Chains A and B, each alone.
Chain A
Amino acid sequence: NTQQPTINRFYDNQ
């Protein structure tokens, strides 16, 4: 089945 990662997984906190 599929997971829904958050956007934080792709972009770091500044």
Chain B
Amino acid sequence: AEDTGVRVELAEEDDCTKSSIALRLWVEDQKKLKGKYKDSGAIEFAFDLDTEVPETVAQEMVDSGFFLEIDVKIVGKSIRDRVSLIKWRRQRSASARN
């Protein structure tokens, strides 16, 4: 996947059963973001794989003041890429069990 400069990873072991998972996001390469990333921390949050949309969470982060509106797409894409990978891994392990 394209390097967005934003890292998103699992904040807990994926047991492949819960739809809600904990994710952790942080800026790895500030040059990739157009706006100035104001926080030096990692943001941990719960995400429901079945019902939630990555871009909505990205907008909530903007609304909370973590990022500027101009970076909402790059944040949303970063979350979407990770969520896609998690879903793919789950499907793969489910088909391996069958």
Instruction: Answer yes or no: are A and B bound together in one complex.
Output: no
